[in-house]
Amino acid sequence: MQLCMQLLHWGKLSRLQRVYAQMTDGADTFFTGVFFMGIEKNFLHFTVSLQDKGWQFETPSHLSILEAALAAGITLPNSCRNGTCRTCMCKLVSGQLAYRIEWPGLSKDEKDEGWILPCVATALTDLVVAVAHPVKAEREA
Ligand code: FES
């Protein structure tokens, strides 16, 4: 339970884990937290499709969309990686996501229009995203 509460305090738990940690109380919290981490690590992967390029990559629920793209060898425009500079701003075409921070640097109107900040967003479903100028790393054969 102590480790689970520490992770909660450090913001290391995903939204699902935080909800579960808040719902549960007592000695089993640590073990259920570890159980849910295992479930997420093994099962909660979503596919992000880049609309214009037709490229796809997998995003596990514990990585931001930007982090998952970089891990897949796809560079999306980015700078601060903390939701303030808006360099990564792009359009969500379909799907649902959540933000790691409470106030990402988008206005309500921008959010309503579908603009997102992938550096601080995590996927809740498969996503289709329209990104200007993504770059795919050359893989050595
Ligand atoms: S990289 Fe700065 S807001 Fe996303």
User: Quick check: CB of 119 below 6 Å from ligand 1?
Assistant: yes
pTM higher than the cut 0.95: no
Would you list the domain boundaries of the chain?
Answer: 2-42, 45-134
Nearest atom in ligand 1 to the alpha carbon of residue 117 is: 4
Q: Give me the sign of the Cα torsion angle 124, 119, 99, 27.
A: positive
Angle at 38 between CA 50 and CA 32, to 5 degrees: 130
Q: What is the pLDDT of residues 87-109, one digit of tens each?
A: 999 999 999 999 999 888 999 99
Of 134, 5, 20, nearest in space to 72 by CA: 134
Distance between CA atoms of residues 4 and 72, nearest Å? 29
Distance between CA atoms of residues 30 and 113, nearest Å? 40
Residue 5 scores a pLDDT above 90: no
pLDDT at 1: 46
- Name the CATH code of domain 45-134 (choices 1.10.260.40, 3.40.50.150, 3.10.20.30, 3.30.1280.10): 3.10.20.30
